[in-house]
C-alpha cells in the first residue's frame, strides 16, 4: 500500500516539476505589429510552393519551384543531433538589435474581431512539444518486462504511450509487490532528478537550436547567393549594403514569431541581380531583427531617413491645396495616387496561409461593400476572373500585373490567385487591390492632371476604410508594408507624362527627376519600359515626411519638369 502511495506521490511530484520546467523558461513574446494576436509560439509551417495549377499563367512564367519554400522550422538543421525541433516559444534574446517597433494601431471606430492567427501545429502539452530522452529506469526497465511491465497494456509497454503512461505502468494491479518496490527505490535513489535533468538537457539543446536554428540548406543557399551577388555588377541597394560583416552578423538570425531568415529577406535580390532594392520584410519583426540591413537601405532609398529618425504622424493636410499639375493639358495623360496598408493581425505575404488569404479577401470585400457615393463599387476576385477581363484591366493600368519575378522570388505569390482581387467603382477612379504586394493598395486615379480631385478622393477613401479596418502602424516606421520602399506614408503619387525633349536622353531625364526627388518608371509600372514616350514619374521617398508633403513633392517636381520641357 505504502509503495503504491509513494509511487503516486512520486508521479505527482514529477508532473509538478515538469509543469514548472516548461513554464519557467518561456520568455514574453517581443512586441511587433503583424504577428498573430494569439502568441502562438511556432512559425507558420511554410506551405509547399504553389502547385503548377496555382502558378501564374505560362505567359509570364513563374520561376517554377524557384521561390525557395520558406525554411520548414520543424525540420531544423542537423546541428543538434537529437531531439527534433519542437515548436519553440519566441526567444526574448532573439536578435533584436534595438527595441522592437511598437505598434500604434490606427484609430479605429469599429475594430473587427482580431484575425485568427495561423496555428501551424498545436502546441498542446509540453510532452507533445519535445521528444524527451527518458532515463534508463523509465525506458529499459519498462520495456524489457522488468519491474513488472504489464503484459497486456500496449500504452505502457515501453514502445508506446507518453511519459505519464510509462510512469503509471509502475503500479499495474497485477504487478508483483517486490517489483513495485524496486521501481519505488529507483525514484528514491534519485531517478526523479535524473529524469528532470534529462529534460533540462533536452530543453537546453532545444534552446541552443533556437539560436542557430537556421537550416543548413538555408545557410548554404545564403552563402552561395551572397558569393554570386558579391561577384556580380548588381546595382541593387542589397548589394551595396550587404557587406560581409552585415551578412555574417545576420545569417543565423530568425524573427521570433515566424522564424523568418535572412534568406526570406534577401532571396528576391539574390535571384534578381537587376533589382533596384532587392529586399522585403517577410514579417514585421524582420525590420528589427535584420535592421543592420534594412536601416541603411531605408536611409538610402528614402533620402536620408536615419535609423534614429522617427516617421512623422500621419497628416494628409489640406486636400484643397492641390490644383491641376498640367492646366493646359499638354503633357500629363493621367494622374494616380496610391497608398498601401497592412491589416493588423496578419503577417506579410511569405508567412500567410491560404486560409488567411481567403479570410482577408472576405474582410476586404465586405468592408468595401459598405462604401457610398463616388467610392461605391464592387469587388472582383482574381479567382475565376476571365483572362481577357484581367488582361484588359492590366492594360488599362487598373490592375496589378501577374507573375512579377521580384515578388515571386520573395515568396509573395503563393496560392495565387487565392485571396487576390480588385475593388473598383464604375468609373474606375477609385480602386483597391487586395493581397498583391501589400494586403491593400488604395488607389485614386483619372485621366488628366487634376491632382486636387484625385488626392481628395484618396483621402476620403482612406479615412473611410480606416474607420472600418485596423491597420499595422509602427511609431518609428509609419505604416508597415512588405517592401521597405513603401514604409512611412506609403504614398506614391504619379503622373503618366510625355516630355519628349527631356526624355530624348533617358539618363538626363532621370538625373533631372532625381533633383526633385522623383522616380521615373515605364508605362506599365515598375521594371517596365516607356511605351510611346509615356513615362510614369512619381515621388520617390515616402518616409520622414507627411502624406501631404509626399504628394507635394510630386506636384512641385512635375511642375518644374514641365517648365523645363517647355523651355527646351
Q: Which residues bind ligand ADP (CB under 6 A)?
A: 334-336, 338, 397, 441, 445, 492, 494-496, 521, 523-526, 536
The string of DSSP codes covering 414-436 is TTTTTT-EEEEETTSSEEEEESS
Per the residue annotation, which of 492, 546, 553, 565 is the catalytic one? 492
CB of 526 to ligand ADP, least distance (A): 4
Residue 342 labelled as part of a binding site: no
In the bound state with ligand CIR, the residue whose beta carbon lies nearer, of 406 and 455, is 406
Cα Dmax for the chain: 106
Place of cell 498542446: 124
Residue 397 labelled as part of a binding site: yes
Q: Comparing C-alpha atoms, which of 262, 299, 302, 301 is closest to residue 282?
A: 262
CB of 486 to ligand ADP, least distance (A): 7
Per the residue annotation, which of 339, 351, 434, 483 is the catalytic one? 483
User: Which residues on neighbouring strands pair with residue 425, listed in sequence order?
Assistant: 377
179 contact, one of ligand ADP, ligand CIR, none, CB 5-8 Å limit per kind: none
Per the residue annotation, which of 405, 441, 457, 542 is the catalytic one? 441
Measured in Å, how far apart are the chain's first and last C-alpha atoms?
105
In the bound state with ligand ADP, the residue whose beta carbon lies nearer, of 90 and 340, is 340
Strands 377-381, 332-341: pairing is: unpaired
Per the residue annotation, which of 299, 402, 437, 565 is the catalytic one? 437
Task: Identify whether the C-beta of residue 68 lies closer than 8 Å to the C-beta of residue 431.
Answer: no
Alpha carbon distance 307, 300 (integer Å) = 11
Q: Comparing C-alpha atoms, which of 211, 262, 204, 248 is closest to residue 91?
A: 211
445 contact, one of ligand CIR, ligand ADP, none, CB 5-8 Å limit per kind: ligand ADP
In the bound state with ligand CIR, the residue whose beta carbon lies nearer, of 191 and 536, is 536
Residues in the chain: 568
CB of 14 to ligand CIR, least distance (A): 53
In the bound state with ligand ADP, the residue whose beta carbon lies nearer, of 100 and 480, is 480
338 contact, one of ligand CIR, ligand ADP, none, CB 5-8 Å limit per kind: ligand ADP
Residue 441 labelled as part of a binding site: yes
In the bound state with ligand CIR, the residue whose beta carbon lies nearer, of 275 and 342, is 275
In the bound state with ligand ADP, the residue whose beta carbon lies nearer, of 218 and 432, is 432
CB of 433 to ligand CIR, least distance (A): 15
CB of 536 to ligand ADP, least distance (A): 5
Residue 524 labelled as part of a binding site: yes
In the bound state with ligand CIR, the residue whose beta carbon lies nearer, of 164 and 300, is 300
Whether 437 is a known active-site residue: answer yes
Alpha helices (H) in 371-505, listed in sequence order: 387-395, 405-408, 451-468, 500-503
Strands 421-425, 478-479: pairing is: unpaired
Residue 494 labelled as part of a binding site: yes
Per the residue annotation, which of 8, 526, 559, 560 is the catalytic one? 526
| Phi and psi at residue 138, to the nearest 5° | -100, 0
CB of 126 to ligand CIR, least distance (A): 42
Residue 337 labelled as part of a binding site: yes
Q: How many CB atoms lie within 10 A of CB 228?
A: 13
Strands 421-425, 430-434: pairing is: antiparallel
In the bound state with ligand ADP, the residue whose beta carbon lies nearer, of 464 and 536, is 536
510 contact, one of ligand CIR, ligand ADP, none, CB 5-8 Å limit per kind: none
Where is 492: in which H helix or E strand? strand 492-497
275 contact, one of ligand CIR, ligand ADP, none, CB 5-8 Å limit per kind: ligand CIR
494 contact, one of ligand ADP, ligand CIR, none, CB 5-8 Å limit per kind: ligand ADP
Which residues here bind ligand CIR, judged by CB under 6 A? 268, 275-278, 406, 483, 485, 526
Q: How many CB atoms lie within 10 A of CB 261?
A: 30
Alpha carbon distance 359, 4 (integer Å) = 54
Whether 565 is a known active-site residue: answer no
Residue 523 labelled as part of a binding site: yes
Residue 232 labelled as part of a binding site: no
Task: Identify whether the C-beta of residue 340 lies closer than 8 Å to the C-beta of residue 441.
Answer: yes
112 contact, one of ligand ADP, ligand CIR, none, CB 5-8 Å limit per kind: none
In the bound state with ligand ADP, the residue whose beta carbon lies nearer, of 359 and 526, is 526
Residue 525 labelled as part of a binding site: yes
Residue 495 labelled as part of a binding site: yes
Task: Identify whether the C-beta of residue 25 lies closer than 8 Å to the C-beta of residue 204.
Answer: no
336 contact, one of ligand ADP, ligand CIR, none, CB 5-8 Å limit per kind: ligand ADP
Whether 46 is a known active-site residue: answer no
Alpha carbon distance 145, 25 (integer Å) = 36
Whether 420 is a known active-site residue: answer no
- Residue 246: exposure state from Cβ atoms within 10 A (0-12, 13-18, ≥19): middle
CB of 357 to ligand CIR, least distance (A): 21
CB of 268 to ligand CIR, least distance (A): 5
Alpha carbon distance 409, 393 (integer Å) = 24
Whether 457 is a known active-site residue: answer no
Residue 496 labelled as part of a binding site: yes
| Cis amide bond preceding 417, omega within 30 | yes
| Phi and psi at residue 447, to the nearest 5° | -65, 150
249 contact, one of ligand CIR, ligand ADP, none, CB 5-8 Å limit per kind: none
Q: How many CB atoms lie within 10 A of CB 392?
A: 12
Whether 339 is a known active-site residue: answer no
Q: Say which residues have a Cβ less than 8 Å from residue 303's Cβ, sequence separation at least 6.
A: 517, 540, 541, 544
Quote the cell numbers at residue 47. 506551405
Q: How many CB atoms lie within 10 A of CB 88?
A: 22
Helix (H, G, I), strand (E, B) or coil at 539: strand
CB of 277 to ligand CIR, least distance (A): 3
CA distances from 234 to 274, 323, 482 (A): 6, 40, 22
Q: Can you say which residues are annotated as belonging to the binding site? A: 334-338, 397, 441, 492-496, 521-526
Catalytic residue numbers, as ranges = 338, 437, 441, 483, 485, 492, 521, 526
Q: Can you say which residues are annotated as belonging to the binding site for ATP? A: 334-338, 397, 441, 492-496, 521-526
Amino acid at each position: 500500500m505504502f509503495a503504491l502511495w509513494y509511487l503516486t506521490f512520486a508521479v505527482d511530484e514529477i508532473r509538478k516539476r515538469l509543469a514548472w520546467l516548461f513554464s519557467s523558461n518561456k520568455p514574453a513574446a517581443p512586441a511587433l505589429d503583424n504577428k498573430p494576436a494569439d502568441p502562438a509560439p511556432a512559425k507558420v509551417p511554410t506551405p509547399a510552393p504553389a502547385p503548377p495549377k496555382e502558378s501564374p499563367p505560362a505567359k509570364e512564367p513563374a520561376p517554377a519551384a524557384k521561390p525557395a519554400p520558406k525554411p520548414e522550422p520543424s525540420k531544423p538543421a542537423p546541428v543538434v543531433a537529437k531531439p527534433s525541433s519542437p515548436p519553440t516559444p519566441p526567444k526574448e534574446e532573439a536578435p533584436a538589435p534595438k527595441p522592437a517597433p511598437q505598434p500604434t494601431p490606427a484609430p479605429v471606430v469599429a475594430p473587427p474581431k482580431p484575425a485568427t492567427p495561423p496555428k501551424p501545429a498545436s502546441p498542446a502539452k509540453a510532452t507533445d512539444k519535445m521528444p524527451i530522452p527518458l532515463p534508463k529506469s523509465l525506458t529499459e526497465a519498462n520495456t524489457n518486462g522488468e519491474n513488472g511491465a504489464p503484459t497486456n497494456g500496449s500504452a505502457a509497454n515501453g514502445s508506446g504511450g507518453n511519459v505519464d503512461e510509462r510512469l503509471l505502468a509502475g503500479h499495474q494491479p497485477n504487478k508483483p509487490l517486490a517489483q513495485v518496490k524496486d521501481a519505488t527505490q529507483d525514484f528514491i535513489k534519485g531517478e526523479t532528478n535524473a529524469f528532470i535533468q534529462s529534460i533540462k538537457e533536452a530543453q537546453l539543446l532545444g534552446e541552443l537550436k533556437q539560436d542557430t536554428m537556421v537550416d543548413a540548406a538555408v545557410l548554404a543557399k545564403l552563402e552561395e547567393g551572397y558569393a554570386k551577388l558579391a561577384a556580380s555588377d548588381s546595382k541593387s541597394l542589397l548589394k551595396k549594403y550587404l557587406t560581409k560583416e552585415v551578412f555574417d552578423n545576420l545569417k543565423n538570425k530568425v524573427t521570433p514569431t515566424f522564424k523568418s531568415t535572412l534568406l526570406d529577406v534577401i532571396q528576391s535580390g539574390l535571384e534578381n541581380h537587376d533589382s533596384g532594392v532587392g529586399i522585403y520584410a517577410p514579417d514585421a519583426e524582420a525590420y528589427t531583427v535584420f535592421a543592420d540591413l534594412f536601416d541603411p537601405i531605408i536611409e538610402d532609398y528614402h533620402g536620408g531617413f536615419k535609423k534614429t529618425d522617427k516617421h512623422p504622424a500621419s497628416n494628409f493636410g489640406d486636400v484643397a491645396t492641390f490644383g491641376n499639375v498640367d492646366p493646359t493639358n499638354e503633357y500629363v495623360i493621367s494622374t494616380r495616387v496610391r497608398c498601401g496598408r497592412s491589416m493588423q493581425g496578419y503577417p506579410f505575404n511569405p508567412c500567410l496561409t491560404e486560409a488567411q488569404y481567403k479570410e482577408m479577401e472576405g474582410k476586404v470585400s465586405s468592408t468595401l461593400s459598405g462604401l457610398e457615393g463616388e467610392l461605391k463599387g464592387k469587388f472582383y476576385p482574381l479567382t475565376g476572373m476571365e483572362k481577357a477581363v484581367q488582361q484588359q484591366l492590366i492594360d488599362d493600368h487598373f490592375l496589378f500585373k501577374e507573375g512579377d519575378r521580384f515578388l515571386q522570388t520573395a515568396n509573395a505569390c503563393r496560392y495565387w490567385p487565392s485571396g487576390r482581387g480588385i475593388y473598383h467603382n464604375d468609373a474606375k477612379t477609385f480602386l483597391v487591390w487586395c493581397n498583391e504586394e501589400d494586403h491593400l493598395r488604395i488607389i485614386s486615379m483619372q485621366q488628366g492632371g487634376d491632382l486636387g480631385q484625385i488626392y481628395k478622393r484618396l483621402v476620403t477613401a482612406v479615412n473611410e476604410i480606416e474607420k472600418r479596418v485596423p491597420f499595422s502602424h509602427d511609431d518609428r516606421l509609419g505604416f508597415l508594408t512588405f517592401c521597405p520602399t513603401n514604409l512611412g506614408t506609403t504614398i506614391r503619387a504619379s503622373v503618366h507624362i510625355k516630355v519628349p525633349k527631356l526624355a530624348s536622353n533617358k539618363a538626363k531625364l532621370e538625373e533631372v527627376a532625381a533633383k526633385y526627388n522623383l522616380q521615373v518608371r515605364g508605362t506599365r509600372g515598375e521594371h517596365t519600359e516607356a511605351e510611346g514616350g509615356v513615362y510614369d514619374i512619381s515621388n520617390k521617398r515616402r518616409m520622414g515626411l507627411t502624406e501631404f508633403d509626399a504628394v507635394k513633392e510630386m506636384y512641385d517636381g512635375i511642375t518644374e519638369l514641365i517648365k523645363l520641357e517647355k523651355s527646351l
